[in-house]
Structure 1
């Protein structure tokens, strides 16, 4: 059993932790001119790396300037707002920074840690209301075939009060729907998308960091008002996700009116 667990963790380090997560400053298709900064969380220590796309073109395309900040480790989340990037480490400390042409990066600690439970995962989301949100996902583990299987129990949502430098709980999302996951987390107005439920959190099955890797079964919708977890997906959609055995990526469709 111990040898099997060591092999599982070795595989995760080799294949999952070289690039843990990445985010960009703008949509490279809709706003190509503004897409100049890329931030990644990389390797097993979860450090920050910053990539700036220079406007000076070469024979092989755009020049890249890369900076690595070794001062901060075990970064769990990173998100881009209008003018800054925000990151959160395993101790739930909130960091802010922007990327300049200098190699001297201005990473600042803006929010101190907030207490949590052992079986909890946190996500950063920049909302449609232009607020920085932190979403807490509470889970419990049940035994299946001798291994721990994760089940999502509830969510709590907080927004960051920049005047007080503290998190304040948000009891309702209104017309907003959140889509969260390891790969990406987004916020949309539910009324803009047919079938999208307001005041709800759509969640994916993220990487299980303890026990055995199970198929991607833990994805559903959480109603913030009622606290009820529901399964809105059709049976064939559930089957396809389970067959893929890959973390899902949320994609926001864009529509253009025809003349």
Structure 2
């Protein structure tokens, strides 16, 4: 009898252990309508965990609008970060993982993950909701740098431009001359200002560190993009005569818009691993009007239509001659005839743009998001970085992309395409004047 009782106890203990390993039961008997109701009542961080557990019913859950990652009050090594749901007008404090989210410049946002750059040429991927992080290949794997002390990065111009222009010299229409003599040296701390500016991912990184393919957009002076795959952990430059201004991953491909207004699709050669591009749209003619066009963003709209958002920015002065900042936007959609058409009616969607991401989001099921509007954050990383390091007075600085140095790095808001007015984001309430760097968009993603 004693033996049978002991065996039964061991079986019960083993069953409990198996259940613990298997994780929580998914309650398959709960109807989808009830799951959706529970999901809508949760806080925005808890919704992600809930959707991960009930992934098979995720199609009935309300879509999640982008969040804002809010910078701290001049604390460069803060151990926490704040996430703000613009739709819910609710905020949550999360742990800031070390090193990826401590005093790093955010240069990308894809599928719930942020790409951050440190002061040593390293780019990280971090999920602020879960704390998970991974390192992308070091920038020196690009093979265009000369050997220098660790606090400096020196680009061999001839080596770089030979890849960018697909041969040469001579190199036509470039910043550094037809022969590409010399080198360009950048301090390690300023790589995020003068060398790279955005990362785009093809997939959400798994727990095994697989990020699929990453596309790195470089500063306008360099122009060419670079790609890295999880299988070949090195950055490979790709040719781009016109230079890449913005890019997205859509429908299984990377798409980019050039500084000259051409949208291109990128393909990878399976044998060499190199990337090349093909123009898929006619050139977008940008009408300057009264203000110069400051930035182009690329997005995929309803039905997969490509959209280009044009931002026109201007520094203003108030009654006391203090500098201010304002902007206006125009949207161009690629029509069925393959031609660009400007529109003021984008339907029941909203656009979210900034230096780290650009995306189109349906407003159905997101009552806190206004259709026909553009939610924008400031995209001038150079001013933000130099102000954080108190370096504005140490050099003659005119922003990286021709935005004046007195641009307000906290400038963000909601632009209505219908009436052409800029409004404040109500979710931010009184927090507009405490930012030491531009807030950045992050799209919630189910693990």
TM-score by length of 2: 0.46
Q: Is the 8 A contact 1:133 1:160 kept in 2?
A: yes
Q: Secondary structure at the match of 1:106?
A: strand
Query: Cα distance, 1:185 vs. partner?
Result: 1.1
**Uncovered stretches (5+) of structure 2, i.e. residues with no partner:** 1-185, 381-398
Per-residue CA distance 1:147-186 (angstroms, 9 max, x = gap): 975411x32211123653x212233122101111111112
Query: Cα distance, 1:227 vs. partner?
Result: 2.2
In the alignment, which residue of structure 2 is the partner of 1:236?
430
In the alignment, which residue of structure 2 is the partner of 1:247?
438
CA distance in 2, matches of 1:252, 1:14: 26
Q: Are residues 1:87 and 2:256 paired?
A: yes
> 1:206–1:105: structure 2 CA closer, same or farther, 3 Å change rule?
closer
In the alignment, which residue of structure 2 is the partner of 1:201?
374
In the alignment, which residue of structure 2 is the partner of 1:159?
333
Q: Is the 8 A contact 2:323 2:406 kept in 1?
A: no
Q: Is the 8 A contact 2:349 2:363 kept in 1?
A: yes
Query: Cα distance, 1:38 vs. partner?
Result: 0.8
In the alignment, which residue of structure 1 is the partner of 2:278?
108
Q: Secondary structure at the match of 1:250?
A: strand
CA distance in 2, matches of 1:116, 1:194: 34
Q: Secondary structure at the match of 2:432?
A: helix
Q: Are residues 1:46 and 2:223 paired?
A: yes
Q: Are residues 1:127 and 2:301 paired?
A: yes
Q: Is the 8 A contact 1:50 1:99 kept in 2?
A: no
CA distance in 2, matches of 1:48, 1:92: 16
Out of 73-82 and 175-184, give the one that drifted further: 73-82
CA distance in 2, matches of 1:244, 1:46: 29
CA distance in 2, matches of 1:53, 1:22: 14
In the alignment, which residue of structure 2 is the partner of 1:98?
267
Query: Cα distance, 1:13 vs. partner?
Result: 6.1
In the alignment, which residue of structure 2 is the partner of 1:140?
314
**Uncovered stretches (5+) of structure 1, i.e. residues with no partner:** 1-9, 55-62
Q: Are residues 1:187 and 2:364 paired?
A: no
In the alignment, which residue of structure 2 is the partner of 1:27?
204
CA distance in 2, matches of 1:163, 1:97: 22
CA distance in 2, matches of 1:113, 1:76: 13
CA distance in 1, matches of 2:330, 2:197: 24
CA distance in 2, matches of 1:105, 1:255: 29
CA distance in 1, matches of 2:250, 2:197: 20
> 1:200–1:113: structure 2 CA closer, same or farther, 3 Å change rule?
closer
CA distance in 1, matches of 2:249, 2:445: 19
In the alignment, which residue of structure 2 is the partner of 1:219?
412
Query: Cα distance, 1:200 vs. partner?
Result: 1.1
CA distance in 1, matches of 2:325, 2:432: 17
The alignment's C-alpha RMSD in Å is: 3.0
Q: Secondary structure at the match of 1:16?
A: helix
CA distance in 1, matches of 2:360, 2:251: 14
Per-residue CA distance 1:128-148 (angstroms, 9 max, x = gap): 432211011223332479897
